[in-house]
Structure 1
């Protein structure tokens, strides 16, 4: 199994005069962009053991995920189920499509925090979605990137990266290799 999908280009980031990240939708962005993900998937996760430390060690673990549409199709929710050191873990993603801006907002929460994280925002182009947000990770200001590669709708790949230099360089820290089961 390949460790990454780095052969895909990351869109150039745009900032306004005050340094705010500007996210524009693709011309083809639609409420149907996540249709490939409906139903249940088995997942092999590869997560970097330590971030921002030149770590090359990956932790691999299985999980499942099940997604369904909500809000007459402009949203969807999924549940992510895994186990870490024998302890059950549950994550939940809420994705909302804004018909006016043509942008998706993706929110995450899990059984450890019970708090919705700041959303990553973006859209799909040619079956690849890029979603960004500014965030703080262990005291560092970062730009976070979620990438959805749905070119193979039965085996999509989700990946996450962070940048400490406004998108000049990226550290990929998590990959999810999905296989649709229903």
Structure 2
């Protein structure tokens, strides 16, 4: 997590750790919200760039070589609400999905929520960021079809910084 100074608003720079090139191991539930426990595992590579936005934005592109699509995340910090919006698009649909919004806590765990749909079913979507170090991080996605009372994790990503990629 980025260190905060008196002049820097809390939350600014929270995603600075992600700038660079990462190898990613994905585990994705094949049939979310069906009671299935069948998972698939596949690789990805992501490259994240900071934007000259005073630590309040970054963008990454993730490539899934065995899946035939890529994704893009734009992260923006709202200094008034002191929270981040994470905005995802993938090359399969060419559309921006509804954002998830939230923040990191004092322990370095980020939690973000937003309303979405999965195959026609309204869901609350949750992203969690945890285990952030200079060389690793974990992201997971979960859906709730009951307004957030119960959650089903359906996708995890374990990030490993490329040895030749410098940490920020």
TM-score (norm 1): 0.80
- Aligned-residue Cα RMSD (Å) equals 1.4
1:115 is paired with a residue whose SS is: coil
Determine whether 1:117 maps to 2:107.
no
* 1:54 Cα offset (Å): 1.1
| Superposition deviation, residue 173 in structure 1 | 0.1
Q: Deviations over 1:120-176 (max 9, x none)?
A: 000001211000001121121211000111443421000000001111110000000
Unaligned runs of 5+ in 2: 1-8
Q: Which residue of 2 aligns with 1:62?
A: 43
Q: Which residue of 1 aligns with 2:150?
A: 169
- Given candidates 47, 59, 80, the residue that maps to 1:77 is 59
> What aligned pairs does 1:125-136 form with structure 2 within 5 A after superposition?
125=105, 126-136=107-117
Distance 1:66 1:152 in 2: 17
1:107 and 2:92 correspond: no
SS of aligned partner of 1:80: strand
Structure 1: any 5+ residue segments left out of the alignment?
Answer: 1-27
Name the SS of the counterpart of 2:136 in structure 1: coil
TM-score, normalized by length of structure 2?
0.86
Could you tell me whether the CA contact under 8 Å between 1:123 and 1:131 is conserved in 2?
A: yes
Whether contact under 8 Å (2:43, 2:66) holds in the other structure is no
From 25, 33, 48, the equivalent of 1:52 is 33
Q: How many residues get paired?
A: 153
Indicate the SS of the match to 1:156. Answer: strand
